[in-house]
Amino acid sequence: IFTPTTLTNLVLWLDAANTASVKDVEGVSPGQVNFNNEVKTWMDLSDSSAIHNLDSSGASAPNWDVTEKAVRCNGSNQVMATVDHVDTNMGTIAQRTITTAFKVGSDTSSRQVIYEEGGGVRGINIYIQDNKLHCGFWNERDDGDGFQAYNELTISINPSSKYIVSYVLDYSHFVDKNSTDGVVECFVNGSSFGQISTTSRLHAHSGNIGLGAMNDGSYFPGDGASTGSRYYLKGVIYEFLMYNSAHSSDDIRKLDNILQRKWF
């Protein structure tokens, strides 16, 4: 039976359906009498060698949405983050797959970050702006495998709608600076909406990881390097998975299928 753990190198898994993994500041979960409706910690269910729980690091904690049975971000001051680790941001990554199930609010024109890691020099971001979903990649420093200017894929989205986005970085064939380019490919609801090439892997960085907002810094076309914590998501996050493998389009469709049955 295909499950998220069927795919290799799962290093981070947040699943709102497992309410015991959602904790308020007192360690109480949704459905328990004393739960205060704030999500202080969202526990990692990946069973990887290191646990990467996410904790609220904004001005206030995200809330538990009793109707959606998931984590709701208010669009103004809520973001979740995890500590630096070689699995997530402190290792050089040649392969990565990120999949998240979410629901956007009525505003899809303003910039709202769903996920980002890195900062002005290098990183990944998945965000909403101008009624589109954007998936970006950049490494504006030559670390021995080439300078990669910011590049992104986009697709139109609708307000108040549910989506599953998968972001796949594949530079598994990298040997040295003379290797042919790697590929970034992104999917929405199981269907690819394009590929871009990259001359660079995702190199180790101390830039923070942010779920639900830009956490300390990122990069956007037109603006360039951006700093601070802002671009808060106003919407719902159901599930988030990170793999340090580049999974095939067939596996992405299988994963999308089980998430759609679960959340749509």
pLDDT tens, residue by residue, 65-94? 999 999 999 999 999 999 999 999 999 999
| Lookup: tokens for 140 | 């504006």
Residue 98 makes CB contacts below 8 A (sequence gap 6+) with 115, 124, 126, 166, 167, 240, 241, 242, 243
| Lookup: tokens for 55 | 């904790």
- Residue 206: per-residue pLDDT: 85
pLDDT tens, residue by residue, 226-262? 999 999 999 999 999 999 999 999 999 999 999 999 9
Please give the mean pLDDT across all residues of the chain: 96
- Residue 75: per-residue pLDDT: 97
Q: How confident is the model at residue 11 (pLDDT cuts 50, 70, 90)?
A: very high
Task: For residues 18-47, give the mean pLDDT.
Answer: 97
Residue 120 makes CB contacts below 8 A (sequence gap 6+) with 140, 217, 218, 219, 224, 225, 226, 227
Please say whether the beta carbons of 72 and 42 come within 8 A: no
- Assess whether pLDDT exceeds 90 at residue 58: no
- Assess whether pLDDT exceeds 90 at residue 177: no
Measured CA to CA, the distance from residue 125 to residue 131 in angstroms comes to 16
Q: Which helix (H) or strand (E) holds 255?
A: helix 249-263
Measured CA to CA, the distance from residue 193 to residue 233 in angstroms comes to 22
| Lookup: tokens for 14 | 């947040």
Its sign, for the CA torsion 127, 237, 91, 7, is negative
